[in-house]
Structure 1
Amino acid sequence: MIVEHAMRLVRGYGLQAVTMRRLADELGTAPMSLYRHIPDRQALMVAMLDQVAREIRLPPPAGDPRAEITAVLTAIHDALHRDSWAISLIVTDKLAGPAIMPALERLFAALRRAGLTLRDSRVAYALLWHYTVGELLDAHMDIPDDTFARQMIRDADPDAYPTLAAVAQAAPPGPPGDWFAENLQRLLDGLLPPIVRP
């Protein structure tokens, strides 16, 4: 019940709204009574991340390792896009809970089936994870799309910076998030042995 209330708060008002005092008020109890069930705020955050992980919509396993890697990473991406508040806990606070383990097992098993060594599987996972989280941070964290850097490139003087100006003019419409699937395939092209490339 505590985690369910915390999830309603975070989804309605953001991470800053999730305090033990506010949770206690919502539940009609004293903050100290919550500590009998949740040892501290960090434990609450981990329980909330576990709830996000349990809501990952993993499709049935795919026999093709590339299809499996794509499906698992896309499902994780979609879940974190829905609950973007979780990204800062994962990236900044380095938190995670055990409910993510089935998705990670499928991902690593697919990397191994694709022919990667144990070490290369770990390196590939790091690259894929950093891309997924980085894309979420860049495209889905309620940060205005018209950032200073993007505006600066878009307004680049074509005489001084001809390549930047040309790229800005030719860029596909929409925020970078629209390119997640396409860029994931580019990464897999470089990571996976040719035998599992389409």
Structure 2
Amino acid sequence: MTQLAEAARRVPLNRDRVLRAAITLADQVGIESLSMRRLALELGVVPMALYKHVANKEELLGGMVDTIVGEIDPPVPDAPWKSAVRFRVLSARQVLLRHSWARPVIETRTNVTPAVLGYMDGFAGMFLAGGFSADLTHHVMHAMGSRMWGFTQEVFDDTAGRDENQRPEVTPEVRAAMAQQMAERYPNLLSIAGAAAHDDGSVVGSGCDDQFEFEFALDLLLDGFERLHQEKWTSGADGYRGL
């Protein structure tokens, strides 16, 4: 046994250490491979020792989310609402890019923890501090959806849950045949596919520049919110009727 492992065993086990070890393990092996037994092995303890600090796997996952929420930069004091929101969303995005397992965990949480509620409260607070009405802020939060966490379900996202190393190799001949089929069956999609710069390493969609697309949509939303705020828009008794 290495000296590092022996030293780790001597560090008293507590909830924070368990959660941070779980995050590190998930970063390394993926959330699917994270188990209480494997985590215990990494910490050099028996699995039952973990249950003194987390009741079950669900509580472990919730605690992991709470911990990485703490990595998101806090709101910038006295900043204009639009730049404050943009800064915080992009900070959240960087956190989720560091912890790629976090997106599906956040999406599937059934119990909203105080840390998550605190983040959402602070997020709404940036709009309210910018002079938005409670009514408009309510609809803004719906419109932002998961984007407030730095991710969104993209229209061309065909990579979710797929291991980068498991993607099949595509030869030039196969790619050409696929392009021909696209031209015949889906001419409109083909025409827009080549209309912008592409990034082969994208996590949004095949070849799309995911960071650009995310910021583009975020800025569209923020500009729209600003226009509604300036026009003192309200939802009205009959629901949304447009402008």
Q: TM-score range by the shorter chain?
A: 0.7 to 0.9
Match of 1:165 in 2: 190
Deviation at 1:52, TM superposition (A): 0.6
Deviation at 1:26, TM superposition (A): 2.2
| Pair 1:62–1:106, CA change in 2 (3 A) | farther
| 2:218 is the alignment partner of 1:184 | yes
| Pair 1:50–1:62, CA change in 2 (3 A) | same
Normalized per residue, which structure has more helix? 1
Match of 2:39 in 1: 23
Deviation at 1:186, TM superposition (A): 0.6
**% identical aligned pairs:** 25
| Pair 1:123–1:135, CA change in 2 (3 A) | same
Match of 1:108 in 2: 124
Deviation at 1:42, TM superposition (A): 0.9
| 2:53 is the alignment partner of 1:34 | no
Match of 2:152 in 1: 134
1-structure distance, mates of 2:196, 2:92: 27
Match of 1:92 in 2: 108
Q: Which has the higher contact order (CA 8 A, sep 6+)?
A: 1
Deviation at 1:87, TM superposition (A): 0.9
2-structure distance, mates of 1:100, 1:191: 23
Per-residue CA deviations over 1:168-187 (Å, capped at 9, x if unaligned) read 22133222413211221111
2-structure distance, mates of 1:101, 1:163: 42
Match of 2:96 in 1: 80
TM-score (norm 1): 0.79
Q: CA RMSD in A?
A: 3.2
Unaligned runs of 5+ in 1: none
TM-score (norm 2): 0.66
The number of aligned residues is: 191
Unaligned runs of 5+ in 2: 1-16, 169-174, 200-207, 232-243
Say whether the 8 Å CA contact 2:81–2:130 is kept in structure 1: yes
Deviation at 1:61, TM superposition (A): 2.6
Deviates further, 186-195 or 8-17: 186-195
What is the aligned counterpart of 1:49 among 61, 65, 75? 65
